[in-house]
Chains A and B, each alone.
Chain A
């Protein structure tokens, strides 16, 4: 940012007005809702809060949420690195189409993302009869929820790595190979250290979405208490039962996850000097 001279500075009243407008807007839409989560969560006191988040269904919801993230994040991270290697390191036809297709899941409504797996694996779905005959349950069970979560978090890691690796070029890898390193060594010792912050960044965003996803998971979950309710779905159940204190208590855990994600994200942007403007 260059130094602004007088002639390119907005008048004081305009600056005050615009900053005031921004604070009012962000306050109303971001900070008041965030604050309300914690106020409502502790409204009935610490004991009620503790009970709500340690109760059996809440614990199983937390476990399921962690399980889903543990399945989806590594898979999409491996995919992201692999896709970025293929797309950034080599030239081939149809690359821009492939890039657009990788971003596709972001454009799809979460509800439709869940629905596609019901059409595939549901009782009336394409493989429904076969699955039933072999007594395999995918929809209304963990595998379906994992698939839906993988779908909605699909592009996160790839879209962080591809532009970075394209910008970095291949020179360092060529140097390593010409010095006798194997392909695998080159990847581990040269490429991976170069992309580690972007990879971490993508993983954090992927994880936040995986743990917080609601619509897609809701379609395939079946909402069986203590079995197929993730933490966001558990929040919905509690809220619809007018158990507001418990709903907000569980929501506060998810809010903390969101805040932690933001903090880590900001830290990486600062640490790695990434200027990330990434909707």
Chain B
């Protein structure tokens, strides 16, 4: 950008910016602001009481712990998938590339019941695991699977453009200096992918923390055991505990904003802009 554009030549600046700000303000900013206003109305002690119950703390531990685990799994497999899709040529590559977006395109409720059906004790995969006493659906591993499902495209799609723009010459140089393929990957390629990998993983984490639709079916939803924070917010709403729901929502929003800032910072720092 930088260079100044004469403002007067193109018409519609006032109208378009005015509409943009009004729509943004009414639909997004004002409602979000209200959450904080209502939450601050509870006072510090009220907020503390609302979020310090054992049930809330257990839900937070479960949500953030499993989200972290899921985004780490996505970090590993996302890197693998991005690498294969960019570097290798084989039949069906285009199809597989397109299918990576499936978790974005599939409604979360569909993913939820499909995963539950498969991993339930009588499901395709669940029935294979049940004899060994492994419970996936209605237990934390089931939640983990749902979170991996919805987070995968973030890592792959953030890495792909960086890998595509990567200069092969650097790898050739490393190889000609006697580096093995693995050394080249570890010392030359990976350090340059790392920022995008961190960005993608953070995006996946941010999504996992707030995810609801694909998780509620497979989770089992036992308070204190398999209850995630978004579900707890809904439960509190249904019990007319507006104060509790608002306090939790404010907490979730603060965490989302912090993650958003972190992602923006990472993207600016590394000049990775997955928006183009």
Within 8 A of A (CB), among B107-158: 107-115, 117-118, 123-125, 145, 148-149, 152-154, 157-158
Tell whether, in the assembled complex, residue A18 and residue B108 are in contact, meaning their CB atoms are under 8 Å apart.
Answer: no
Q: Does B224 contact A (CB under 8 A)?
A: no
Q: Does B237 contact A (CB under 8 A)?
A: yes
| A219-B237, A277-B157, A279-B153 given; A212·B35 CB < 8 A | no
Q: Which of A34-42, A47-55, A130-138 lines the interface with chain B?
A: A34-42
Q: Does B34 contact A (CB under 8 A)?
A: yes
Tell whether, in the assembled complex, residue A278 and residue B172 are in contact, meaning their CB atoms are under 8 Å apart.
Answer: no
Tell whether, in the assembled complex, residue B105 and residue A262 are in contact, meaning their CB atoms are under 8 Å apart.
Answer: yes
Q: Does B57 contact A (CB under 8 A)?
A: no
Q: Does A85 contact B (CB under 8 A)?
A: yes
Q: Does A10 contact B (CB under 8 A)?
A: yes
User: How many A residues face the partner with a CB closer than 8 A?
Assistant: 106
Tell whether, in the assembled complex, residue B102 and residue A34 are in contact, meaning their CB atoms are under 8 Å apart.
Answer: yes
Complex Cα distance, B181 from A10, in Å, reads 7
Other A-B contacts than A10-B87, A151-B27, A218-B212, 10 sampled, CB-CB below 8 A, are A4-B87, A32-B125, A33-B111, A40-B117, A109-B210, A110-B212, A163-B276, A208-B105, A214-B112, A279-B274
Tell whether, in the assembled complex, residue A90 and residue B158 are in contact, meaning their CB atoms are under 8 Å apart.
Answer: no
Complex Cα distance, B210 from A107, in Å, reads 8
Contact of B32 among A29, A104, A150 (CB under 8 A): A104
Tell whether, in the assembled complex, residue B5 and residue A90 are in contact, meaning their CB atoms are under 8 Å apart.
Answer: yes
Tell whether, in the assembled complex, residue B96 and residue A22 are in contact, meaning their CB atoms are under 8 Å apart.
Answer: yes
Tell whether, in the assembled complex, residue B124 and residue A36 are in contact, meaning their CB atoms are under 8 Å apart.
Answer: yes
Q: Does A71 contact B (CB under 8 A)?
A: no
User: How many B residues face the partner with a CB closer than 8 A?
Assistant: 107
- Which chain B positions have C-beta within 8 A of A173? 10
Interface centre among A40, A115, A159, A208 (most CB of B within 10 A): A115
- Which chain A positions have C-beta within 8 A of B253? 108, 112
Tell whether, in the assembled complex, residue A83 and residue B20 are in contact, meaning their CB atoms are under 8 Å apart.
Answer: yes
Which partner residue on chain A sits nearest B231 by CB separation? A111
Binding site for A on B (CB under 8 A): 1, 4-5, 7, 9-13, 16-17, 19-21, 23-24, 27-29, 31-32, 34-35, 38, 77, 80-81, 83-88, 90, 94, 96, 98-115, 117-118, 123-125, 145, 148-149, 152-154, 157-158, 160-161, 164, 168, 171-172, 175-176, 181, 184, 200, 203, 206, 209-213, 217, 230-231, 233-234, 237, 240, 242, 245-246, 249, 252-253, 256-257, 259-260, 264, 273-276
Which partner residue on chain B sits nearest A155 by CB separation? B28
- Which chain B positions have C-beta within 8 A of A34? 102, 106, 114
Tell whether, in the assembled complex, residue A86 and residue B13 are in contact, meaning their CB atoms are under 8 Å apart.
Answer: yes
Tell whether, in the assembled complex, residue A92 and residue B109 are in contact, meaning their CB atoms are under 8 Å apart.
Answer: no
* Secondary structure class of chain B's binding surface, majority of residues: helix
Complex Cα distance, B12 from A187, in Å, reads 10
Tell whether, in the assembled complex, residue B20 and residue A22 are in contact, meaning their CB atoms are under 8 Å apart.
Answer: no
- Which chain B positions have C-beta within 8 A of A86? 12-13, 16-17, 20
Which partner residue on chain B sits nearest A95 by CB separation? B1
Complex Cα distance, B148 from A30, in Å, reads 11
Q: Does A105 contact B (CB under 8 A)?
A: yes
Tell whether, in the assembled complex, residue A119 and residue B274 are in contact, meaning their CB atoms are under 8 Å apart.
Answer: no
- 20 inter-chain pairs at a CB distance below 8 angstroms, sorted by A residue, are A18-B80, A32-B118, A34-B114, A36-B123, A37-B110, A83-B20, A83-B23, A86-B13, A107-B206, A110-B212, A115-B249, A118-B237, A159-B275, A187-B12, A218-B213, A219-B237, A259-B105, A278-B274, A279-B154, A279-B274
Please name the 5 residue pairs, one residue from A and one from B, whose CB atoms are nearest each other, closest first.
A109-B210, A212-B107, A183-B11, A214-B213, A7-B175
- Which chain B positions have C-beta within 8 A of A208? 104-105
Which partner residue on chain A sits nearest B176 by CB separation? A7
Binary per-residue interface labels of chain A (189-219) against chain B in the complex, 1 for a CB within 8 Å, 0 otherwise: 0000000000000000100100111110011
